[in-house]
Structure 1
Amino acid sequence: MFHPDELRAQALAGFDAVSGAIYPAMPEQHREFFANLPYLFVATLDETGWPVATVFSGPAGFIRSPDATHLRISSPRRSDDPAQAALQPGRPVGALGLDFSNRRRNRVNGIVGRTDKNRVEIVVRQSFGNCPQYIQRRELYPAPASPLPVERLGALDKDARTTIAQADTFFVASAAHVNTASGGVDISHRGGNPGFIYQDGETLWIPDFRGNRYMNTLGNLLAQPRAALVFIDFTRGDVLHLRGETHIIWHPEKRATMPGMERYWRVAVTDIWRFRQALPWRGRNVEFSPATLRTGIWREDNRPY
């Protein structure tokens, strides 16, 4: 069920006998859940083996499940999006469905099956749900997408730093043991109060709050210390995609603590893409998760170094 580095991460975190409901196919309720979503977060590996991540959007029904082991995304792919361009048959892939209206989320991991210009098929090998902790509830409403050409940045600019500083939500893609039944590509949600990501130049410091103890992301980062991060600007419909090398701090010093944090990790950002006005929806009326409200943020007296 868990690959060797997920088990190693659980041990490093001090967890004993972690178990979870990870299925080889999608339960019926998960298939219905995906079919009703207007967006889907997806990750894969590019030709160099680095994780890349993206978000697909479409009207309800643009995601279909013809059977319990196939998920089909009917949406045009952007050739200038490194993750969408990398979704080629045989590549490992992970997908996360998250409903911001009720904090429900389900994940699938597998490989890319058939593709064409307007469709990507996921052959599901792992299917599982996650708890609603740290998911901020939002009202989403339609807004016209007016995609601009991708911006490839050499460093985090003012707009990118503002997006990160104001974020209460982001998504992280990672991968490990992709040629084994227990490994693959994974994309996961992270949430916190605005300010829960500390910025120092091109390095981001991210707390790891109490969760389901699967350690999917950190287990992957132990094996392959590389991650892709996706930030959504819910006001403007922008997508910020970062990539970088990671390092986990398992036992923080006493001063580098905050409520809810058990450990933290850093990302040294190496690649940045920004897609302005890319999403056909926006978010408003944020309701913070009770779990989020019990956590803290970085300040000068508890910064991570």
Structure 2
Amino acid sequence: MDETIFHAGERLVQERTGERGTALINSRSISPGIPAAARNFVGQQRWCIVGAADAAGAMWACLLSGEPGFVQASDDLRSLHVASSDPQGVLASIVPLADLQPTQSIAVLLIELQTRRRLRVNGHVAQASAQALDVAVGQAFPVCPRYIQKRELLPLEAEPTSDNSTCAEATSGTLLDEATSAWIAGADTLFIASLGPSEDADVSHRGGRPGFVQQQGQVLRIPDFNGNSMFNTLGNLELESRCGLVFPDFEGARQLQLTGHARAHFGVEADIDQTGGTGRWIEFRVERWRSTPLNLPQRWRLLEASPYNP
């Protein structure tokens, strides 16, 4: 059992919550390459979430969609290859991360909503071009299916089912407006990108019942439900507050991206029910936001909420 696999921030949170032992047991799933059993899973995915810092150092989480096979594991399982059939290319599809540079830290989360399976990959940019992105894997590990709402992908020709789905124009701002606030209030899924020591990127899933994220002006409060006890995100936030969120619009084929700073709060007993019993919140202060259509207009139908949602 490698007790050095976690950095100082992760160890601090694990010890604070009394979950250090569980974290060490679960760390056995972390490997320096893509697990061989996950090779087919990688190649079957229709979308992924990319987390990294932009040229100015702000953190962003970005949704990237494609046909099965647009993400592939290398033969030696030590790298991911992300390609795009979009004429604008991969980097243009994950704005504002269009200036990714070799050796830059990056995280990729592959998640299959219909089976609730997910694989987290943290590493560095090996090569970035208009049409392809190669990621050198540093760590890869499967994550438990809790809090993932089960959805099925609709055919591309399916008619939109939401009044919001006809909005294809990109918009942006600094202050959350009525439309973005309503989007957040109705969300049951988000992804969060954070930075650890040496600016190592990570991207993680958060889910709950619609309304599980609370807004107070420019501050979003995200409950931290029980998980795998490794506390990758909360551990990162102990050391670095830069953070990025992305909220998918599953019916409208859009994404809402936010960048800002966040910190974790512990032992908030007054909100024990809202946090699923943990008493933990992430408070995220929005500095900028962007609403954009997905590069491939995928739409999803909700099948079942997670049975683990508090």
Q: With structure 2 as the length reference, what TM-score do the two structures score?
A: 0.88
What is the distance in 1 between the residues matched to 2:271 and 2:120?
A: 35
What is the distance in 2 between the residues matched to 1:66 and 1:249?
A: 40
SS in 1 for 2:18: coil
Deviations 1:231-253 (A, max 9, x none): 00111111000011112111103
Q: 1:176 to 1:101 in 2, by over 3 A?
A: same
Report if the CA contact (8 A) 1:146-1:278 is conserved. no
Deviations 1:160-209 (A, max 9, x none): 11111111100000011136xxxx21000000001111111111011100
What is the distance in 2 between the residues matched to 1:98 and 1:255?
A: 29
Report if the CA contact (8 A) 1:93-1:111 is conserved. yes
Instruction: Report matched runs for 1:78-227 at 5 Å.
Output: 79=92, 81-143=94-156, 148=168, 150-178=170-198, 184-227=200-243
Moved more, 259-268 or 55-64: 259-268
Moved more, 150-159 or 37-46: 150-159
Quote how far apart the aligned CAs of 1:278 are.
4.4
Letter in 1 for 2:73: S
2:90 to 53, 77, 97: 77
1:9 to 9, 13, 34: 13
Deviations 1:266-298 (A, max 9, x none): 011101111036442111133011101xx1xxx
Q: 1:51 to 1:255 in 2, by over 3 A?
A: closer
SS in 1 for 2:154: strand
Moved more, 252-261 or 113-122: 252-261
RMSD: 2.0
**Number of aligned positions between the proteins:** 289
Relative to its length, the structure with more strand (as a share) is: 1
Quote how far apart the aligned CAs of 1:149 are.
5.2
Quote how far apart the aligned CAs of 1:29 are.
1.7
Q: Which runs of 5+ in 1 are unaligned?
A: 296-305
Quote how far apart the aligned CAs of 1:87 are.
2.4
Moved more, 12-21 or 23-32: 12-21
Moved more, 213-222 or 24-33: 24-33
Letter in 2 for 1:86: D
Report if the CA contact (8 A) 1:175-1:220 is conserved. yes
Instruction: Report matched runs for 1:29-108 at 5 Å.
Output: 29-67=37-75, 68-75=77-84, 76-77=89-90, 79=92, 81-108=94-121
Report if the CA contact (8 A) 2:47-2:64 is conserved. yes
The equivalent of 2:267 in structure 1 is: 251
Report if the CA contact (8 A) 2:118-2:144 is conserved. yes
Report if the CA contact (8 A) 1:147-1:275 is conserved. no
Deviations 1:137-165 (A, max 9, x none): 00111336999553221211222111111
Letter in 1 for 2:302: N
Letter in 1 for 2:173: L
Letter in 1 for 2:103: G
Quote how far apart the aligned CAs of 1:50 are.
2.5
Letter in 2 for 1:33: F
The equivalent of 1:287 in structure 2 is: 304
What is the distance in 1 between the residues matched to 2:230 and 2:264?
A: 16
Quote how far apart the aligned CAs of 1:2 are.
0.7
What is the distance in 2 between the residues matched to 1:77 and 1:27?
A: 25
Q: 1:286 to 1:162 in 2, by over 3 A?
A: farther
Identical aligned residues as a percent: 35
The equivalent of 1:269 in structure 2 is: 286
SS in 2 for 1:95: strand
Relative to its length, the structure with more helix (as a share) is: 2
Letter in 1 for 2:80: L
